[in-house]
Chains A and B, each alone.
Chain A
Amino acid sequence: MTLAPGKQQIRFIIKPMVFVLAILPLTLLCLRVLGIYGATLGPNPIETVQDYLGIWGLRFILISLSITPAAWLIKKPWPIRLRRMLGLFAFTYCSLHFLAWLVLDQSLDISAIISDVIKRPFITLGTLALLLLIPLAVTSTKGWQKRLGARWTNLHRLVYPAAVLICWHYYWQVKLDTIDALLYCAVLAVLLGVRLWKRKRL
């Protein structure tokens, strides 16, 4: 593949490919929900669905955050054109993770939901992170980008604190074996670190 695809190539080949790849985890989950090809959700289906959506939410946050450094690395701006779609996938997986908790795990029991959000620090962190992501999803359109101008970039820097909160949320809910959570934290640290480093050098 050439490193600088043209506008048309991005629009008609790369973007659809990325879309299909990004929706694949959700498709696989649906197959498991429906029990197609003997796939199952295992003995604890609600936990499976919720954890699966949460981890993919985090993965897409990290993938979205690697686009800019990737563009720096190859010294070409074209990957930036994939960033909005990947960010919206991140938001989708995060929202579905939250909805799974609300509907499947808590069965929409409002008092239990409120008490958990207030009393359980790891859930408070998750909620804050999701709240930070909402304005980013809303203002992701071209129209909002134009309207906000330079402020748009500043607003979208909210993804950095949101990502930190998510990693913390993940780490805090682990019972004992934090190795996986720490690996994700390390990836985030690198992605935020290269930004600081780049800034210092400018």
Chain B
Amino acid sequence: MLIKVPQKNTPAPSEIASETEYQNRRSFIRSMGFVGASALLGGTACAQENPPETRSLGPLLKSQYSTNQTENSYTDITQYNNFYEFGTSKEDPYENSGQFQPMPWSVRIEGAADITGDFSYEDIIQSHALEERIYRMRCVEAWSMVIPWVGIPLGDILKRFKPTSNAKYVSFETVYRPSEMPGQRRPILDWPYREGLTIEEAMHPLTILAVGIFDKSLPNQNGAPLRLVVPWKYGFKSIKSINKIGFTETPPATTWNDAGPNEYGFYANVNPEVDHPRWSQARERRIGGSLFDAKQPTLMFNGYADEVASLYSGLDLQRNF
């Protein structure tokens, strides 16, 4: 089935002008080096002026996999992000993602499966019930959050495409739209962003395709409209704004592994005993704390060892980091 994707809405010229002016003002403030001064105006100058609408997602199923740890605030989750497609600082995704148009959206399914082709966002998710999954998220930079995702078990979706016995891995790709994603205009990573899982990891019930946070559709800076969430792996595995999913026989190339093979492995399982070459992974900073909160110990597989450790029995995790 091939679905023709209509032209994206283009913003009115007046909107473009005000956005440019706003960006200029920001970069002027930045270039003056008055980091503090611009932050002082926080809430006015720093705020995204026209946050794109998020839709309410309706009734959600609860899940046994949700943690009962305290959720981070909506502000923390939507204003402290790593999404290099919109810039490399933590504020960039919030500030620079206003031009991104997630809808309409389509995903190309390819490779070792009986059913392949282009499918709309609605085709992908419509026949599934949405679940709330409150997960811990551990970044490779040693900070963490608790995020109430809304999503669908990835395995339930993948099965509909009838992967063949050759499907040993699943590859994912982020959309490449430098006109809407300013970070992609610099070759800081080898765009488009690519990630991959083994088929067992992809089919694991903890792995979800997320479409929202806090019972609302995903904001652009969190990976609208569709993203992966693999809670026992470092955050960079949970690829955002996915528009391609492939079934492969060999391990797919992944962006961070290509960028730094001795720092970022294919598995990237959260593991307090395997340090990043430049920093320790033994402890993590929980976002949203005060100036005087101590770090907390990082747990094996981010605390999901009971569910996922068996996936890796017999694998040397020191070498396959």
Interface residues, chain A, CB within 8 Å of chain B?
A: 24-25, 28-29, 31-33, 37-47, 49, 52, 55, 59, 104-105, 107, 109, 112, 115-116, 119-122, 172-173, 175-177
Contact = CB atoms under 8 A, between A and B. Distances in A.
A55 B291 CA distance: 19
Q: Which of A33, A44, A49, A122 has the most CB atoms of chain B within a 10 A radius of its CB?
A: A44
Given A42-B90, A42-B91, A43-B288, 13 more contacts: A28-B40, A38-B43, A39-B36, A43-B76, A45-B291, A52-B35, A107-B295, A119-B280, A172-B278, A176-B84, A176-B188, A177-B88, A177-B188
B291 A52 contact: no
Contact of B80 (A39, A43, A55, A105): A43
A37 B289 CA distance: 21
Nearest to A44: B287
Interface in B35-69: 35-37, 39-40, 42-43
Contacts of B279: 120
A163 to B, nearest CB: 18
The binding surface of chain A is classed by DSSP as: helix
Contact of A47 (B43, B259, B285, B288): B285
B6 interface: no
Given A41-B291, A42-B80, A25 B188 contact: no
A31 B35 contact: no
Given A46-B291, A116-B280, A175-B141, A25 B285 contact: no
Given A42-B80, A43-B79, A32 B278 contact: no
B278 A29 contact: no
Contacts of A119: 280
A104 B291 contact: yes
Contacts of B293: 46
Contacts of A115: 280
B115 interface: no
Contacts of A175: 141
Contacts of A121: 278
Contacts of B189: 176
B310 interface: no
B75 interface: yes
Interface residues of B, number: 37
B36 A29 contact: yes
B171 to A, nearest CB: 22
A28 B36 contact: yes
Interface string B69-109: 00010011001100010001011000000000000000000
A31 B40 contact: yes
Q: Which of B189, B278, B294 has the most CB atoms of chain A within a 10 A radius of its CB?
A: B278
B33 A43 contact: no
Contacts of A107: 294-295
A41 B80 CA distance: 12
A120 B39 CA distance: 31
B156 to A, nearest CB: 33
Contacts of B278: 120-122, 172-173
Contacts of A42: 39, 79-80, 90-91
Nearest to B91: A42
A130 B25 CA distance: 36
- Ranked nearest first, the 10 interchain pairs of A and B with the lowest CB-CB distance are A28-B36, A177-B88, A43-B80, A107-B294, A43-B76, A39-B40, A43-B287, A45-B291, A38-B43, A39-B42
B75 A43 contact: yes
Interface in B88-147: 88, 90-91, 141, 143
A122 B280 CA distance: 12
28 contacts: A24-B36, A28-B36, A32-B40, A33-B291, A38-B43, A39-B36, A39-B39, A39-B40, A41-B291, A42-B80, A43-B75, A43-B80, A44-B143, A44-B285, A46-B285, A46-B293, A47-B143, A47-B285, A49-B291, A52-B36, A55-B35, A105-B295, A107-B294, A116-B280, A120-B279, A176-B188, A176-B189, A177-B88
Contacts of B33: 59
A44 B42 contact: no
A42 B90 CA distance: 10
Given A28-B36, A39-B39, A107-B294, A44 B88 contact: no
Contacts of B91: 42
A176 B140 CA distance: 13
Nearest to A32: B39
Nearest to A103: B292
B290 interface: yes
A35 B191 CA distance: 39
A33 B84 CA distance: 28
Q: Which of B72, B288, B290, B291 has the most CB atoms of chain A within a 10 A radius of its CB?
A: B291
